[in-house]
Amino acid sequence: MNKPSQNQFKQLHQRFRQLKCMKPSFIIIMIMLLCIINLHAQKTKGVNVKKDYFPDAGNWIHQSLKDSGIDSIKLQEAIHFAIEHEAKASKNMELSQAMSFGKEPFGEGTGPFSDRGDPTGVIVYKGYIVAEWGAPSRVDMTHSVTKSFLSTVVGLAVDEGLIKSAGALGTYFLSVFKNQFI
């Protein structure tokens, strides 16, 4: 194997620094996912929790932590951790895009950019919103981590029988939104 040139070494070093910059947000998402899984696994002895509930579109119901059987202290600790460990990258998404992909082929941004907002989250347990913070209705750019998170959620939904298959889900959305993308 040939020794990398000074330019190749600089490029590798720059990519490593970019990955280090992305690490905190990935860790926060993974911690939140693990918290959700842990909350789902908690036993709800003596707590009256409705089964097989799924809200209608746009009609999400909030449920108290007491009624859901969730440990409020642990949940607040997880939320506090997520807020305190916000990504250190620039909130200026145009600058972030340029720093991450500006030297790549076709690395320039397409479309408008808006600044990244403050830490935000929603925790849904058994179909009920049990916690939310920040501005959940705000739209933020999420980039590549979206693929990992969404594929996990789809895999869990297929495993639970909530959707027939990932292919069926794709076919459904293509039929619903076909006029918006063509």
Q: What is the pLDDT of residues 118-145, one digit of tens each?
A: 999 999 988 899 999 999 888 877 777 7
Q: 48-107, pLDDT tens digit by residue?
A: 555 667 888 788 899 999 998 999 999 999 999 999 998 888 888 888 888 887 788 887
Q: What tokens appear for 181 in the block?
A: 């993308």
Structural domain boundaries of the chain? 6-50+69-119
pLDDT of res. 1? 44
Q: What tokens appear for 84 in the block?
A: 């305190």
pLDDT of res. 94? 85
pLDDT of res. 62? 93
Q: 13-30, pLDDT tens digit by residue?
A: 565 555 544 445 555 665
pTM over 0.75: no
Residues 6+ apart with CB under 8 A from 22: 87, 89, 145
pLDDT of res. 54? 81
Q: What tokens appear for 156 in the block?
A: 């869990």
User: Which of 151 and 131 is assigned the larger pLDDT?
Assistant: 131
pLDDT at residue 34 tops 90: no
Q: What's the average model confidence in pLDDT over 164-181? A: 76
pLDDT of res. 101? 79
In b/e form, how buried is each residue of 58-77, taking b as 16+ CB within 10 angstroms?
eeeeebebeebbbeeeebee
Handedness of CA 135, 141, 145, 147 (dihedral sign): positive
